[in-house]
Amino acid sequence: MSRDDAHEKRSRKGAMQPTLTDVAREAGVAPITVSRYFNDPEALRDATRLKVEAAVNQVGYVRNMIAGSLASATTRVIPVIVPSLANVVFIEVIRGLQQRLEAAGYQLLLGKTDYDLDREAQLVRTFLGWSASGLIIAGLRHSDETRQLLENWNQPVVEIMEYGDGLDMNVGLDHRAAGHAMATHLLNRGYRHIHYAGAELERDYRAGERFEGHRQALEAAGLPAPLLDLPSRQQMDSGAEALMHIRTHSPTCDAIHFANDDMACGALLAAMRDGIRIPEDIAIAGFNGLPIGRHMTPRLTTIVSPRELIGQRAAEQLLRRIRGEPLGELSINVGFTLHEGESA
């Protein structure tokens, strides 16, 4: 693939993409004018703009974002760091982010920690090297290294999923309150032997915080708060397993508060299969408000977390800060809603 035209003094690479300068030469203007054509078209006279436009098409120019970023010391890139892509919850948050950020002309750089704080720090370090305009990171718990890197970085950071005190801005919900709310609901419905069932609560510490709220509610009612923390597997399997385990070992149990809807639905489907009546034999509650819960019979009682909204709000906060607009609050509590089905 040889070059037959314009480019003579190309040194380091062979066949090169045309550059801004090529376009400028073709259009008979200065390179900076072509630059303006892309970054602030309004600033050009119509005639000039047309000339440049023609030249751009003529030479088949593709902008080199890298060079622009180096010169301007900013990038229209927002790194997003989440613990996992296996969890729908993060996917939906990413969707909300994507939607708002892409509309504003920002690209999304994706990083996954696998719940490893060292990996998280490493990702942060890498991403800071991208001269990003800001950064989105899941959770309020980070290693000291991560915290320090982010604090020394003078760009906006939004921590998502949880509500509380963070590094900079944050958008999320109060998981303790959510756990408390569901436990209270179960108590109000008359259940007295309520178990909490999760999977790897050490890792999924937000589910652990929901358990804390749950426990507080039960203890306030003078009741114990037994916890079943299973090792990780496919979530629905864990739910089914938890149901069996608790029915066998704690026959008096009258309600299970699951850490999430996947587990709760796994239990619900297992109950259907085995003829266990829900909620007569045992009540079941979840967390997240996934669509599937509404398709169950009985419908799943759960707490709806506004996941996509978290993403949208986080993006909005970040953009506002990037643009130097006022933001109202640094911390946004998106809240949650208890959706009552017939399962509890």
What does 155 bind: DNA, a second copy, none (CB cut-off 5 to 8 Å by kind)? none
Which residue bears the tokens 């309150």? 177
Q: Applying CB under 7 A, which of residues 11, 188, 248, 252 lies at the interface with DNA?
A: 11
Decide: is 57 part of the binding site for DNA (CB under 7 A). no
Report the helix count and the strand count for the chain, using DSSP H and E. Answer: 13, 12
Closer residue to a second copy, CB minimum distance, 149 or 167: 149
- Side-chain-side CA neighbours of 61 within 13 Å: the count stands at 25
Which residue bears the tokens 């921590």? 159
Please report, for residues 186, 238, 298, the alpha-carbon distance to residue 262 in angstroms, rounded to integers and kept in the order given. 19, 9, 15
Site for DNA in 187-246 (CB under 7 A): none
At closest approach, how far in Å is the CB of 134 from DNA?
A: 17
Number of other residues whose CB lies within 10 A of the CB of residue 285: 29
Decide: is 15 part of the binding site for DNA (CB under 7 A). no
Closer residue to a second copy, CB minimum distance, 81 or 334: 81
Site for DNA in 73-112 (CB under 7 A): 73
What does 130 bind: a second copy, DNA, none (CB cut-off 5 to 8 Å by kind)? a second copy
What does 128 bind: a second copy, DNA, none (CB cut-off 5 to 8 Å by kind)? a second copy
Name the segment binding DNA (CB under 7 A); options: 17-25, 168-176, 184-192, 204-212: 17-25
Q: Applying CB under 7 A, which of residues 6, 50, 54, 70 lies at the interface with DNA?
A: 70
Name the segment binding DNA (CB under 7 A); options: 45-53, 77-85, 133-141, 264-272: 45-53
**In sequence order, which ranges of the chain are alpha helices (DSSP H)?**
20-27, 31-39, 46-59, 65-72, 88-103, 117-128, 144-152, 175-188, 205-220, 235-249, 261-274, 292-295, 307-322
Decide: is 64 part of the binding site for DNA (CB under 7 A). yes
* Site of interaction with a second copy (CB under 8 A): 1, 12-13, 15, 60, 62-67, 69-70, 73, 75, 77, 85-86, 88, 91, 94-95, 98, 102, 107-112, 125-126, 128-131, 149, 152, 154, 234, 236-237, 240, 265-266, 269-270, 272-273, 291-292, 295-297
* CA–CA distance, 21 with 56 (Å, rounded to integer): 11
Q: Applying CB under 7 A, which of residues 1, 8, 71, 152 lies at the interface with DNA?
A: 71
* CA–CA distance, 209 with 198 (Å, rounded to integer): 11
Closer residue to a second copy, CB minimum distance, 223 or 292: 292
Beta strand 77-82 with 135-138 is parallel
What does 38 bind: a second copy, DNA, none (CB cut-off 5 to 8 Å by kind)? DNA
* CA–CA distance, 83 with 65 (Å, rounded to integer): 29
At closest approach, how far in Å is the CB of 69 from a second copy?
A: 5
* CA–CA distance, 197 with 222 (Å, rounded to integer): 20
Cis peptide upstream of residue 41 (ω within 30 degrees of 0) = no
Residues 328/166, Cβ–Cβ less than 8 Å: no
At closest approach, how far in Å is the CB of 273 from a second copy?
A: 4
Closer residue to a second copy, CB minimum distance, 63 or 147: 63
Decide: is 3 part of the binding site for DNA (CB under 7 A). no
What are phi and psi for residue 256, nearest 5 degrees? Answer: -120, 130
Decide: is 58 part of the binding site for DNA (CB under 7 A). no
Cis peptide upstream of residue 279 (ω within 30 degrees of 0) = yes
| Overall size of the chain counted in residues | 344
Number of other residues whose CB lies within 10 A of the CB of residue 41: 12
What does 44 bind: DNA, a second copy, none (CB cut-off 5 to 8 Å by kind)? DNA
Residues 64/283, Cβ–Cβ less than 8 Å: no
What residue ranges bind DNA (CB under 7 A)?
9-13, 16-17, 19-21, 29-36, 38-39, 43-45, 47-48, 63-64, 67-68, 70-73
